[in-house]
Structure 1
């Protein structure tokens, strides 16, 4: 069945160095899944925290389902992530270190189930961001030059 992307967090790659990635399940209510199937979600400022041996995703906005009733969900509620105990322990230890954060990278369907790709991230400094932009510009110019060369 494969994967179907719901949304991704482009900002995360600009703001952080992603050192390791984890795939986690997510605990959702019925109307949340229906809203995600309609392609509605926003993970702009979302982050994950390890608390009490569990991982929770905060600030993931899933708008209420259009055809829902009074049982519709709260769009910004914290959602529990489903990970193996060993992974949770590893993430807890790493996030206690200075500068590390757990950032969701993308939200997608995999074999009918909603999955979140989490990144163990270390914050970038301003000069790191500038360097990345320079490298992107350089790659773009190089690709443009090669394209021009092949045309002529």
Structure 2
């Protein structure tokens, strides 16, 4: 299966608008029992999330997983920092990539693959305001062309 395929749970659409995605890497997430149940119920928000490298390990921060309704006292903190599971070579590559200024790690998708929750991390470079406007213009032009071609045939 190619990267980013499986049962899609959540997607960070704002990331593609705010950043230019250079490359993507799939990673597993260390979760507690009620967190995986909440993820399977699509109770996750990636909008403000980011990944950070600390002590040679990658951590996912600011990703909101809502408390599981039937979780009672075993429920988790919704915004806790979660460790990502990656190979050492992948982490070393990320360390090298993030040394560049303006490069950050952004979660793009969360999905279930073979029964495990996976996150697709994007190595991203921030866009300037004029780049965002240019992309929107290009997208509108493409939509207009597609619309006229559809009506023509």
2:89 to 86, 89, 100: 86
Give me the whole-angstrom Cα distance separating, in 2, the residues matched to 1:105 and 1:39. Answer: 15
> Pairwise mapping of residues 45-124 of structure 1 onto structure 2 (< 5 A)?
45-124=48-127
Deviations 1:30-50 (A, max 9, x none): 000011111110011000000
Give me the whole-angstrom Cα distance separating, in 2, the residues matched to 1:138 and 1:120. Answer: 28
1:132 to 125, 128, 135: 135
Please state how far the C-alpha of 1:147 moved relative to its aligned partner: 1.2
**Which residue number in structure 1 is paired with residue 41 of structure 2?**
38
Corresponding residue SS for 1:70: helix
1:141 to 126, 144, 147: 144
Please state how far the C-alpha of 1:127 moved relative to its aligned partner: 1.0
Which ranges of 4 or more aligned residues in structure 1 deviate by more than 4 Å?
A: none
Give me the whole-angstrom Cα distance separating, in 1, the residues matched to 2:122 and 2:74. Answer: 32
Deviations 1:76-115 (A, max 9, x none): 0000000000110111121121010000000000011000
Aligned length: 150
Give me the whole-angstrom Cα distance separating, in 1, the residues matched to 2:93 and 2:53. Answer: 10
Corresponding residue SS for 2:92: helix
Give me the whole-angstrom Cα distance separating, in 2, the residues matched to 1:129 and 1:37. Answer: 33
CA RMSD of aligned residues (A): 1.2
Give me the whole-angstrom Cα distance separating, in 1, the residues matched to 2:95 and 2:81. Answer: 18
* Uncovered stretches (5+) of structure 2, i.e. residues with no partner: none
Please state how far the C-alpha of 1:69 moved relative to its aligned partner: 1.7
